[in-house]
């Protein structure tokens, strides 16, 4: 008996021709990766937007700090008169529920008014104008002064009483007055400093003889006579310098500018004490550009004044760059040598693994802890020991036993050491073992292989670690507050005495300057623009240092094209 083959069962998916279409399989979008592409790409966009927003805010407020604004004369309905620059404005609601607008006017003239800024509501304004000859005077002390020119005085007598004539006389005599002021400052700083160093050197020599031979010795008697002779010479030099300084001060005191405030009070200002006088309402665009560039040059090249809220930040720029360079010079050799030992020489095991874990954990220690360690170890222990051995005559005044540029650099080198070690280890492990084996096969020793083969090809990765160390170390503030940075150090740690750079001295730092201006300033509103400007400058310096390191890394990459990073 023949069995018939089974007939296929008809389904709804069959085509009229009787052929079946393959069933479609649903696949997850995650299998194709589309959601992760959007997620990772969106995260990148958000991160870039946050960075760009932060830099944009700093750039906007930082660049606009020094642009000269118009000076407004505002008359109040109660008869009061205000003169100054508008620095901020906002909408507000009065206690009666009335919506209005108010402006923050920088009026200054602090010694007369006791105020730096005043809020003025539009509801209280009766009228306003932009006086052509309204003066803005930036002074060495006491902040800005806003007023109208009344006279130019020489020896107390008016030689000009019209605004145009006063301005012409000011422009004629301001330069020579400032030159004499600079001469006086140079005498007080350099010449007086040189004489003081000479007297201090003689005093230290006498102190050394006292410690070595005693007060009753013949050597001490002879040294004491020499010290007395040096003191007489110094006193005579001081009298001569005092005469020169008094003559310069007397000559500068002859020239004064008489200004009148908006409410009628008058003030005489010594012309030499004027950093810059501006008439914003009468100068055009290019005149404003000139004032803007002049303020920027002062900011980059001058010392701070007015408790860091005015003047320049050159000492802070020098301190930041010097500390970062010294830190980099210190941290790179130690970090590279430590990584070389861990990767190339040490036998891998539990101890080496524990050391690596400790290094990684060290990178997460709060920076203030490093500051405390630097203060205790570098300043007190190492510096105190150096003072005891080599500077005993200066004790109890410390030389190295206190905070300074050197110990701050050591502390930040210790702080950034884990970054360099980890980056260097990764760079060393990326060098193929075949290169090492080929070097050994040619008869090279281990050190020759490391020197000629491994290190050159790992150099780009080492530079990457240096870049990360610079980026972190240059912006640290907390440790520096304990190991050498100060609020104001107008003089650089550089002089004409060997070794010329006195790394044991305290210094200024842009990061601490930002903290001090932003949170410790008496006049917070006046200091706010300086915070953004100094922040912009610090970011720019870090970027420039990083670009320098990146350029070196790029050259190394081109030289060793096949090296892994």
Give a yes or no: residue 467 inside a domain.
Answer: yes
Residue ranges in 380-451 assigned as alpha helix (H): 384-390, 405-430, 433-441, 446-449
Cis amide linkage into residue 499, ω under 30° from 0: yes
Nearest residue to 553 (alpha-carbon basis) of 472, 474, 470: 470
CATH number for 423: 1.10.3720.10
Q: Which residue has the tokens 């004499």?
A: 180
d(CA 190, CA 198): 12
Same domain for 341 and 245: no
**For residues 226 and 192, what is the distance between their CA atoms, to the nearest angstrom?**
20
Which of 223, 253, 283 terminates a domain? The answer is 253
Mark whether 347 and 218 lie in a shared domain: no
pTM of the predicted model, to two decimals?
0.84
Give Cβ neighbours of residue 406 (< 8 Å, ≥ 6 apart): 326, 400, 503, 504
Cβ atoms of 153 and 262 within 8 Å: the answer is no
Q: Are residues 223 and 325 in the same domain?
A: no
- DSSP label at residue 88: E
Boundary-marking domain end, from 231, 253, 275: 253
Q: Is residue 350 part of a domain?
A: yes
Q: How far apart are CA 543 and CA 352, in angstroms?
A: 35
Number of domains forming the structure of the chain: 2
Query: Which of 203, 230, 253 is at the close of a domain?
Result: 253
**Ramachandran assignment for 108, one of left (phi > 0), alpha (psi -120 to 50 degrees), beta (any other):** left
What is the number of residues in the chain? 565
The two structure tokens encoding residue 303: 């010392």
- Rounded to whole angstroms, the Cα distance separating 56 from 50 reads 10
Closest CA to 302 of 289, 315, 319: 315
Domain identity same for 205 and 349: no
- Residue-level pLDDT at 183: 94
- 340 and 231 housed in the same domain: no
Structure tokens at 538: 């610090």
How far, in Å, CA of 561 to CA of 510, rounded? 38
| Residues 393, 463 share a domain | yes
In a domain, 248, yes or no: yes
**What tokens does 564 get?**
């892994």
What tokens does 523 get?
């006049």
489 and 392 co-located in one domain? yes
Answer yes or no: do 355 and 438 share one domain.
yes
Nearest Cα residue to 445 out of 434, 432, 436: 436
257 closest CA partner among 238, 273, 236: 273
Do both 193 and 325 map to the same domain? no
Do you find a cis peptide bond into 6, omega within 30 degrees of 0? no
Same domain, 319 and 225: no
Strand-pair partners of 309: none
* 323 and 416 together in one domain: yes
Q: Taking the chain, what is the end-to-end CA distance rounded to the nearest angstrom?
A: 80
Asked if residue 296 is part of any domain, the answer here is: no
Is residue 533 assigned to a domain? yes
Q: Residue 152: beta bridge partners? A: 160, 257
Domain membership of residue 265 (yes or no) is: no
**Segments forming the whole domain that contains residue 234:** 157-253
Q: Quick one: which of 478, 370, 477 has its CA closest to 419? A: 370
The DSSP annotation for 63-84 comes to: HTTTPPPPPEEEEETTS-EEEE
Averaged pLDDT, groups of 10, the chain, 565 residues long: 51 51 60 74 92 89 88 91 90 85 90 87 90 92 91 92 92 94 90 88 90 87 92 92 94 94 91 93 91 92 83 90 90 91 87 88 88 92 90 86 91 92 90 88 89 87 86 86 85 73 86 86 75 89 85 78 47
* Residues 324 and 242 both lie in one domain: no
Find out whether 127 and 75 touch, Cβ atoms under 8 Å: yes
Phi first, then psi, for residue 232 (nearest 5°) are -65, -40
Angstrom distance (rounded) from CA 495 to CA 488: 18
**What pLDDT is stored for residue 13 in this prediction?**
47
Domain assignment of residue 32, yes or no: no
Q: How far is CA 300 from CA 209, 292, 294, 318, in A?
A: 46, 13, 10, 10
Q: How far is CA 237 from CA 180, 199, 230, 231, in A?
A: 20, 11, 10, 10
Would 47 be classed as within a structural domain? Answer: no
Give the angle 249-251-254 at the CA atoms, nearest 5°. 105
* Contact call for residues 234 and 280 (beta carbons, < 8 A): no
């Amino acid at each position: 008996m023949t069995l018939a083959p089974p007939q296929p069962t008809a389904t709804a998916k069959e085509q009229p021709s009787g052929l079946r279409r393959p069933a479609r399989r649903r696949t997850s979008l995650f299998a194709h990766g589309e959601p992760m592409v959007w997620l990772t790409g969106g995260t990148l966009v958000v991160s870039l937007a946050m960075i760009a927003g932060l830099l944009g805010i700093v750039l906007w407020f930082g660049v606009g700090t020094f642009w000269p604004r118009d000076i407004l004369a505002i008359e109040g309905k109660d008869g009061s008169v205000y003169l100054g620059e508008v620095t901020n404005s906002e909408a507000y609601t009065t206690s009666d529920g009335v919506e209005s607008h108010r402006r923050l006017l920088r009026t200054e003239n602090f010694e007369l008014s006791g105020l730096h800024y005043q809020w003025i509501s539009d509801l209280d304004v009766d009228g306003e104008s932009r006086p052509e000859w309204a003066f803005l005077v930036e002074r060495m002390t006491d902040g800005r002064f806003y007023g109208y020119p009344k006279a130019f005085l020489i020896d107390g007598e008016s030689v000009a009483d019209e605004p145009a004539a006063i301005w012409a006389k000011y422009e004629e005599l301001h330069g020579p007055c400032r030159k004499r002021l600079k001469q006086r400052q140079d005498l007080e700083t350099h010449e007086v400093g040189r004489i003081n160093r000479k007297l201090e050197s003689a005093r230290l020599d006498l102190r050394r003889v006292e410690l070595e031979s005693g007060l009753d010795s013949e050597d001490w008697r002879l040294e004491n006579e020499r010290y007395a002779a040096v003191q007489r010479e110094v006193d005579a030099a001081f009298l001569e310098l005092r005469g020169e300084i008094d003559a310069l001060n007397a000559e500068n005191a002859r020239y004064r500018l008489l200004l009148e405030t908006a409410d009628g009070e008058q003030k005489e200002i010594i012309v030499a004490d004027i950093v810059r006088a501006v008439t914003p309402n009468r100068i055009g665009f290019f005149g404003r550009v000139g004032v803007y560039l002049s303020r920027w040059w002062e900011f980059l090249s001058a010392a701070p004044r007015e408790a860091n809220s005015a003047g320049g930040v050159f000492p802070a720029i020098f301190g930041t760059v010097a500390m970062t360079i010294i830190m980099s010079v210190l941290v790179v050799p130690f970090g590279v040598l430590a990584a070389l030992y861990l990767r190339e020489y040490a036998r891998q095991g539990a101890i080496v693994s524990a050391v690596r874990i400790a290094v990684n954990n060290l990178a997460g220690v709060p920076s203030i802890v490093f500051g405390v360690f630097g203060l205790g170890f570098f300043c007190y222990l190492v510096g105190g020991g150096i003072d005891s051995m080599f500077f005993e005559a200066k004790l109890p005044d410390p030389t190295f036993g206190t905070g300074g540029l050197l110990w701050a650099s050591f502390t930040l080198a210790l702080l950034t050491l884990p970054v360099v070690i980890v980056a260097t280890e990764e760079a060393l492990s990326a060098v193929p073992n075949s290169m090492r084996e080929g070097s050994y096969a040619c008869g090279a020793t281990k050190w020759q292989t490391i020197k000629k083969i491994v290190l050159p090809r790992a150099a780009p990765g080492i530079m990457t670690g240096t870049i990360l160390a610079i980026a972190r170390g240059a912006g640290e503030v907390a440790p520096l507050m304990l190991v050498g940075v100060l609020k104001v150090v107008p003089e650089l740690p550089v002089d004409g005495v060997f070794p010329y750079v006195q790394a044991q001295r305290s210094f200024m730092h842009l990061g601490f300057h930002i903290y001090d201006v932003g949170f410790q300033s008496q006049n917070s509103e006046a200091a706010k623009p300086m915070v953004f400007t100094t922040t912009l400058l610090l970011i720019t310096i870090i970027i420039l240092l990083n670009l320098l390191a990146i350029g070196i890394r790029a050259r190394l990459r081109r030289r060793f094209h096949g090296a892994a990073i």
